[in-house]
């Protein structure tokens, strides 16, 4: 099964991954969007350039800041297959990492998720997705993608939107299990283990 890194906001006006990959808005070829790429140009850019992503593992914490639950998304692929994943999407042209992270958390988890971003967002790792399996632990059949990965506490109510069908809250040990890793796309089971280890949630 082809494994893909989710693109940002596929249903948001001006942010369709094939019509406006740089997130500048405007119609194809319009003066308001000089950096617009056609499907062919986007495919060519992906063939020649690494694409920058942010990814977030949503968690719930207790009063001491200890991770008690991990939020795993259920998505439907374009082929109608069900897969598990985390919050993920591209960084727009001119957008800060903080803004991109918040945007994708809100898009996938809903506006009432209330994520708590740190004063200085620093990823727990940089994941490199390659189109050829085996180069790294992460794979995306379309492109070479470089992803900044974060563990982000959320304090509100999560109501998945876009192509995320639901959020399943699991204990850290279950989220890091081999059984769940087998359901995760692109090698993200490894990413979840790295993220939970970075915050001391694995024993």
pLDDT digit string (tens) for 24-79?
333 333 344 444 568 888 788 888 889 999 999 999 999 999 999 999 999 887 77
Query: Are 152 and 116 in contact, with CB atoms under 8 Å apart?
Result: yes
- What the block records as the tokens of 25 is 């808005």
Give the strand pairing for 51-61 and 87-90: antiparallel
Query: Are 49 and 55 in contact, with CB atoms under 8 Å apart?
Result: no
Number of H helices, E strands in the chain: 5, 8
pLDDT of residue 35: 47
Query: Are 153 and 60 in contact, with CB atoms under 8 Å apart?
Result: yes
Distance between CA 65 and CA 47 in Å, rounded? 42
pLDDT digit string (tens) for 124-181?
999 999 998 889 999 998 899 999 999 999 999 998 876 788 999 999 999 999 999 9
The reported pTM is 0.80
Distance between CA 193 and CA 13 in Å, rounded? 35
- What the block records as the tokens of 154 is 């959320």
């Amino acid at each position: 099964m082809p494994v893909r890194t989710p693109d940002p906001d596929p249903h948001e006006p001006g942010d369709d991954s094939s019509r406006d990959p740089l997130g500048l808005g405007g119609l194809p070829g319009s003066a308001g969007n000089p950096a617009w790429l056609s499907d062919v140009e986007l495919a060519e850019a992906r063939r020649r350039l690494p694409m920058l992503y942010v990814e977030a593992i949503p968690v719930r914490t207790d009063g001491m800041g200890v991770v008690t639950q991990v939020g795993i998304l259920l998505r439907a692929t374009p082929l109608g297959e069900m897969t598990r994943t985390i919050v993920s999407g591209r960084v727009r042209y001119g957008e800060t990492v903080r803004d991109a992270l918040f945007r994708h958390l809100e898009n996938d988890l809903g506006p009432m998720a209330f994520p708590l971003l740190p004063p200085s967002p620093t990823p727990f790792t940089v994941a490199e997705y390659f189109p050829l399996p085996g180069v790294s632990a992460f794979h995306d059949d379309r492109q070479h993608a470089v992803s900044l990965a974060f563990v982000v506490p959320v304090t509100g109510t999560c109501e998945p939107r876009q192509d995320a069908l639901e959020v399943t809250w699991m204990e850290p040990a279950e989220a890091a299990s081999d059984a769940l890793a087998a359901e995760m796309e692109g090698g993200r089971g490894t990413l979840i283990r790295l993220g939970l280890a970075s915050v001391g949630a694995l024993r």
